[in-house]
Amino acid sequence: MNFLALTLLAPLLSGLTILALRRAPEALALAGAVLGLIGAVGLFIAASDGTVQAVLPGLPDMPLRLVATPLTAVLALVVATVAGFVLTYATGYMAGDPEKARFFGTMLLFVTAMQGLVLAGDWIMLLAAWEMIGFASYLLIGFWHGRAGVASAATRAFLYTRSADLGLYLGAFLLIGVAGTSEISGTLAITGAPALIAGLFLLVAAMGKSAQVPLQDWLQRAMAGPTPVSALLHSATLVAAGAILLIRTAPMLPGGALLAIGIVGGLTAVITGLIALAERDLKRLLAASTASQYGLMLVAIGAGVPIAALLHLIAHAAIKSSLFLGAGVFQHDREGTGLDTLAGAGRARPGIFAGFAIAALALAGIPPLAAFFSKDAIIAAALASTAAPWLLPLALAGSVLTGTYMGRALKVLWTGEAGPARTPVPFMAIGMSVLVALAAGLGFSFGALEHVLGAEIEKPGWIVPVIGLAVGIGGLALGWFFAPARLLGPLLAPAQNGFTVAGGMDGLILRPSLSIAAACEAFEQRLLAAQIGLIRNLGLGAARLVDRGDGQLFKFSIWIGQQSLRLGRGTRSMDTNRIDVAIFGLVRRITAASTRARRLQSGLIHRELALTVIGIGLIVIVLLTAPHYF
Amino acid sequence: MILELMIALTAGAAMFGTGLYGALSQTNLVMIIMGVELILAAALVNLVAFWRYLHPEEPAAQMFVLIIMAVMAVEMTVGFGIAIARFRSRGSVEMEEARELKG
Amino acid sequence: MTVQMIFLVFFGGAAVWFGIVVFRTHSMVRSALALLFSQTAVGLMFLVMQAEFLGVLQIMMMATEMSVMAIFMVMFMMDPGGMGAMDMTHQKRLSLWAGGIGLAAALAVIWLADWGPIGTDIPGAAQQTADLGRELLGRSMFIFQSVGLTILTAMVAATMVAIAPAKEQPK
């Protein structure tokens, strides 16, 4: 359990830390890779005793599972090992790049996703991890997105693999629906028509991810990314996902599916081998070679011996990654990967070239190097299968072509001017040398590995090794001594074009997808414009309404003000006209009354006498009548 | 008896009315004083009539008569003194010309 | 009492008649004399009503006063003889009304009021005088004294008013 967590969490946390901090990316990356490797080793040891499981909460009735059987633990170990040493190499390769942090962070996130895919115990987890590695591949291929052609290559790769992922979705949902559970081991018990259909769907998915014909072109375009990316993703891990898928579901696949897988793999092996031979760029040659090798693995699966495919996968991981690392060193020297540019680069770095040569010979199938044993197993499987008449010639042709293009590569690298002395590249050398050692020596561990996985390969007789050796040496010789133009003859031009048919994947997949996307974008723009227009109209209408309301309010307040003014004026007028008039009138009347009253004060005695008499009379009356009333 | 009282009182009333008329209508001060004399005489007649016919045992009524007679004398004295002073300053005692107290 | 009544009517009428004459005649002397006769008739009425002392007093006093008044009349009037036949009245209507109303009111009171029992025991003249004297110097001493003071004051005041100030006389 702890190793399981360590395997997944170490790269995840270091990747997130690098992306967050953007400091000391190499140290954090190496720390994360080392811890992940420790976790994977521990996990392998634990899994060889018994299956290690972890259940995580997921969808209702479909929890996420991580399961470490010997098979998945081995794959996890492979991923962790290659990742660790490629990251060591990348420390030197990306030394001068200003965006190292982004690179290392994304690489570690990819490693996490790959481990998640490899250790997935249920289809939902696998699907999620599948998507994640595709996305990480997109980010990493397009790492130098400022350069011409890189962005389109990344988009192309993403779209091709994405279109093939449809097969995985359909297959997975079919399996879940039929089996009733999302656990992979549970779904492997299906038989009959659903198994066949599901198998074909899964084959489509594998074709996409593992760059099988007709979807092989994206892998070559993916070489636009940095070399460590090519070494990790596009040789050992991401392209292995397709093969891993088929290996894990092999118990379920019925004969028809197996036959289809084998045919597809064989055709790929041959066609991409021819393309590799015609290639003029080293990395693209190696990419085509990768597709070819995976074709051979599919042949083995199709022949019914998935263990052979697994062994070849492990061997190929070490071999191809070391080949890419070597190519990266030469690219570093010559600032380019074209075979013309790299002519003679091997001479300047004998050590690196030695490693490259060892890996190349291993790939060609020279004993006692690793791929000899796995290639023999594949040929033996093809020989022993029921579809031998189809599979065997394809497998043999593929093997021959392997040797041929590797020989050619070796020749180009060796023949030519050495150029000036080169600065030593310690990190790159260390990373590469470990993988070369693995490439050389893994073959001897295959016996123990078979024992751990519980699947023994029947030891073939002497004929298969002889055939294998013959095709390997023969191929190398052909490649060394003869130019591709002579070997391919009329097939040279089509091979150089990648055998495009009817516009190829561009016309079938890429352009339709992009035009649909453009149409959707235009529709959305119109929708947005309509929405904005609506909102604007509504807003303006509302604003106008509010403005009118405000105007009314304003008029109303003005009216109130006028009423107040009128009230004030009325009050003032009342004050001046009524109250003042009343008061002054009162004053006037009082004055008039006083003027009239003044006349009483005539000063004339007789008048005053008369008044006195009248007053006396009044007093008498009052005095006489008052007692009656009071 | 009662009729005699009435007669006496009636005479007093008539003298009062005449005296009032005279006091108010005459222009000369002396004539006004004469009118006042008549009024007072009427009051005397009334008093004596009341004494004789209603309260003959009461000497206070006669006392009152004496007082009124004294008042008559005093009033004539002061009045004539004022008339002399006025005549000296104005040359006549006509009340029509006495407007000094006009307000 | 019929005699008393006749005499009362006669003397009352004389008093009223002479009172009216006072204001109807143009001659001042005749006015004074008419007033004299009116007052004398009042005094005679007193005598008729058995108030001997008061009657005599009235006659004596009024005679003197009317004489003095006649003298003053002659002094102050511009037409003492009344030869000019000037109308020396003003506010005649008002005065008539006032007099008329006063007369009417008094008559109304006299003839409409209930005067109560008539007194019958009339003391003799000597008795009246003695009672009056006692009254005057007994209960009404205060009034008597104040009246005396008032008369004195009036005499002094009148004298002062009448005497012309020395400075105002032309030299």
Q: Give the tens place of pLDDT for each residue, C74-109.
A: 888 777 676 766 666 777 888 899 999 999 999 998
Across the interface, whether the CB atoms of B10 and C110 are under 8 A apart is answered: yes
Query: How many CB pairs lie under 8 A apart between chains A and C?
Result: 13
**Residue B52: inside a domain, yes or no?**
yes
CA A305 – CA A296 distance, rounded (Å): 12
Check: CB of residue C8 under 8 Å from CB of residue B6.
no
Chain A residue at shortest CA distance from B103: A601
Q: Is C13 exposed, middle or buried (0-12, 13-18, 19+ CB in 10 A)?
A: middle
Residue located via tokens 């011996």:
A305
> Taking CB atoms and an 8 Å cutoff, what residues of chain C touch B5?
115, 118
Distance from CA of A580 to the nearest CA of C (A): 41
pLDDT-above-90 percentage for chain B: 50
Instruction: Look up the pTM and report it.
Output: 0.58
pLDDT averaged over every residue in chain A = 83
Query: What is the pLDDT at residue C45?
Result: 93
**Residue B98: inside a domain, yes or no?**
no
- The residues that bridge with B26 in the sheet, in sequence order, are C89
**Of A182, A197, A302, nearest in space to A250 by CA:** A302
Chain C residue at shortest CA distance from A621: C105
Across the interface, whether the CB atoms of C54 and B62 are under 8 A apart is answered: yes
pLDDT band at A386 (very low <50, low <70, confident <90, very high): confident
Please report how many Cα atoms fall inside a 13 Å half-sphere around the Cα of residue C101, on the Cβ side. Answer: 13
DSSP letter at A181 equals -
Q: If DSSP codes are grouped into helix, strand and coil, which group holds residue A618?
A: helix
User: CA A288, A291, A297: angle at the middle one, nearest 5?
Assistant: 145
> Taking CB atoms and an 8 Å cutoff, what residues of chain C touch B49?
49
**Residue B51: inside a domain, yes or no?**
yes
Across the interface, whether the CB atoms of C110 and B80 are under 8 A apart is answered: no
Rg from Cα positions in chain A: 46
Q: Is the pLDDT of residue B28 over 90?
A: no
* Number of domains, chain B: 1
**Residue B101: inside a domain, yes or no?**
no
Range of the domain at B36: 3-93
Query: What is the pLDDT at residue C60?
Result: 94
**Residue B100: inside a domain, yes or no?**
no
Q: Is C120 on the interface with A (CB under 8 A)?
A: no
- Chain B touching partners, 3 or more CB pairs below 8 A: A, C
Select the residue of B26, B29, B98 nearest A604 (Cβ to Cβ): B98
Q: Is the pLDDT of residue A563 over 90?
A: yes
> Taking CB atoms and an 8 Å cutoff, what residues of chain B touch A595?
none
> Taking CB atoms and an 8 Å cutoff, what residues of chain A touch B29?
605
Q: If DSSP codes are grouped into helix, strand and coil, which group holds residue C118?
A: coil
Check: CB of residue B70 under 8 Å from CB of residue B21.
no
Q: What is the ipTM of this complex?
A: 0.90
pLDDT band at A421 (very low <50, low <70, confident <90, very high): low
CA A89 – CA A95 distance, rounded (Å): 10
Burial B47-61 (b: 16+ CB within 10 A, else e): bbbbbbbbebeebbb
**Residue B10: inside a domain, yes or no?**
yes
CATH code of the domain in which B46 resides: 1.10.287.3510
CA A151 – CA A139 distance, rounded (Å): 10
Q: Give the tens place of pLDDT for each residue, A15-35.
A: 888 888 888 888 888 888 888
CA A552 – CA A571 distance, rounded (Å): 28
User: CA A211, A212, A218: angle at the middle one, nearest 5?
Assistant: 35
Distance from CA of C96 to the nearest CA of A (A): 11
CA C72 – CA A196 distance, rounded (Å): 173
Q: Give the tens place of pLDDT for each residue, A105-134.
A: 999 999 999 999 998 888 888 999 999 999
Check: CB of residue A82 under 8 Å from CB of residue A232.
yes
Please report how many Cα atoms fall inside a 13 Å half-sphere around the Cα of residue A98, on the Cβ side. Answer: 2
B26 backbone dihedrals φ, ψ, rounded to 5°? -85, 145
Check: CB of residue A160 under 8 Å from CB of residue A218.
yes
**Residue B54: inside a domain, yes or no?**
yes
Across the interface, whether the CB atoms of B95 and A610 are under 8 A apart is answered: no
User: Could you tell me which residues come within 8 angstroms of residue A277 by beta carbon, excluding any fewer than 6 positions away?
Assistant: A401, A404, A405, A408, A479, A484, A487, A488, A495
Check: CB of residue A616 under 8 Å from CB of residue B16.
no
DSSP letter at C122 equals P
**Residue B39: inside a domain, yes or no?**
yes
Across the interface, whether the CB atoms of C98 and A614 are under 8 A apart is answered: yes
Q: Is A193 exposed, middle or buried (0-12, 13-18, 19+ CB in 10 A)?
A: exposed
How far is residue A1 from each of residues A6, A50, A84, A125, A538, measured CA to CA in Å?
9, 12, 21, 17, 60
